Amino acid sequence: MKPAIRPALWLAFALAAVLPLQANAGRSCEQVKPTAALIVKGMQLAERTSQQLDASGARVVILARAGQDLSKYGLRYSHLGIAYKTDEGPWRVVHKLNHCGTAVAAVYRQGLGEFFLDDLWRYEAAWSVPTPAVQQQLLAALREPDARLVRLNVAPYSIVSYVWGQKYQQSNQWAIETLAAAMEPATIGTRAQAQAWLQFKGYEPTTLTLGPLTRLGGRVGSANIAFDDHPNEKRFSDRIETVTVDSVFAWLPRAGLGAPQVTLKL
């Protein structure tokens, strides 16, 4: 897990001028250099998000961005992470990112600037503030050594991985499984155990209706899309059950784990 250093605005300009974006989660994977205007907007969104998070008094939030247009699926946000306020002051985000053009992913610890310095579809942030008890458990987990924090992470990645499967793991799935492990650190040590806790707490995935041509095209055309982990009876009836940001935001208050989402738009 790479160390997180919140970039200053001018440093962000300098880096973006020479480096294409290499990781993907809930956004386009085109290798393009962001323009100066997009960098400014991303940093402005990060700054305003930081200010509002500070004003909320929270130490940990479930934070989302809108990296892709998913409106045809009835979804508003594409990617979430677990954001926390450090003792030094800045906010950091721990989240899982798919390596562009591949079927693998890794967990990163980044600043808000890096989280929003991206090829965003919409310059909008959203978050849910967990209850004090959930924040306490998450903060303890986030302060653990990286090797323990990523113990439920698996490299094989599919953007539509089956919610209750273990063959692949997408970014939002990693986040809520990690939340589950943080809540019961003494008893949850596997993904299956984390998923059992999520089911016990009433988590309900989003069901995407994807026809056979869409499924076939996605599998053939993209390394990070696979459907073979979904049960046949669901897959062949065009019911793809996966973890989405919108479903997580709906579940947290329903389960008594967090407040309704807050939205910030530029």
Q: What is the pLDDT of residue 11?
A: 36
Q: What is the pLDDT of residue 51?
A: 98
Phi then psi for residue 42, to 5 deg, are -65, -40
* 156: amino acid identity, one letter: P
In a domain, 201, yes or no: yes
Give the structural domain span for 247: 9-265
Q: What is the pLDDT of residue 74?
A: 92
In a domain, 247, yes or no: yes
Q: How far apart (Å, rounded) are the C-alpha atoms in residues 100 and 27? A: 10
In a domain, 3, yes or no: no
Give 101-145 pLDDT, tens digit per residue: 789 999 999 999 999 986 799 999 999 999 999 999 999 999 888
In a domain, 230, yes or no: yes
In a domain, 254, yes or no: yes
- What's this model's pTM, rounded to 2 decimal places? 0.86
Q: How many helices (H) and strands (E) does the chain have?
A: 10, 9
In a domain, 104, yes or no: yes
Domain count, the chain: 1
Residue 147's alpha-carbon distances to 12, 118, 144, in angstroms, are 28, 26, 8
Residue 117's alpha-carbon distances to 6, 34, 48, 68, in angstroms, are 11, 9, 13, 14
In a domain, 2, yes or no: no
In a domain, 111, yes or no: yes
**Mean pLDDT in order along the chain per 10 residues (266 residues):** 39 32 46 78 96 98 95 93 96 94 92 89 96 97 87 95 97 98 96 98 94 48 85 89 98 98 96
Q: What is the pLDDT of residue 214?
A: 52
